[in-house]
């Protein structure tokens, strides 16, 4: 298998996708939440890289998440946002 066959052309290498790219997904996807699959589809990165970047954004407080139907839903935070009860802060 050649090097070009090892990695599909339409999938970006992990270093090519930034936190800012992920925040831009919130502008593209309809609705207030995104999933790792949304990030993967919009940015063309791997599912794992999408999860890593969303979790980085969560660690810095730029996004929050909750689990629903076995998947995590992420949404952007803002200064005006009311603090959620602990059971929403998965």
- Cβ burial of 75 (10 Å; 0-12, 13-18, 19+) is middle
pLDDT recorded at residue 35: 96
Cα 54 to chain center, whole Å? 4
The backbone torsions φ and ψ at residue 19, rounded to the nearest 5 degrees and listed phi first, read: -60, -40
Separation between Cα atoms, residue 33 and residue 37, nearest integer Å: 12
**pLDDT at residue 54 tops 90:** yes
Q: Where do the domains of the chain lie, and which CATH numbers do they carry?
A: 3-76 (1.10.10.10)
The answer to whether 25 touches 39, Cβ cutoff 8 Å, is yes
**pLDDT at residue 15 tops 90:** no
pTM of the model: 0.71
Separation between Cα atoms, residue 41 and residue 37, nearest integer Å: 6
**pLDDT at residue 64 tops 50:** yes
Confidence category of residue 75, pLDDT binned at 50, 70, 90 = very high
């Amino acid at each position: 298998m050649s090097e070009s066959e090892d990695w599909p052309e339409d999938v970006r290498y992990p270093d090519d996708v930034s936190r800012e790219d992920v925040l831009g997904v919130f502008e593209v996807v309809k609705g207030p939440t995104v999933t790792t699959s949304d990030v993967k589809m919009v940015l063309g990165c791997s599912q794992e890289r999408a999860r890593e970047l969303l979790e980085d954004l969560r660690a810095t407080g730029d996004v929050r998440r909750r689990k629903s139907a076995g998947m995590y839903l992420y949404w952007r935070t803002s200064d005006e946002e009311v603090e959620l009860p602990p059971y929403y802060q998965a």
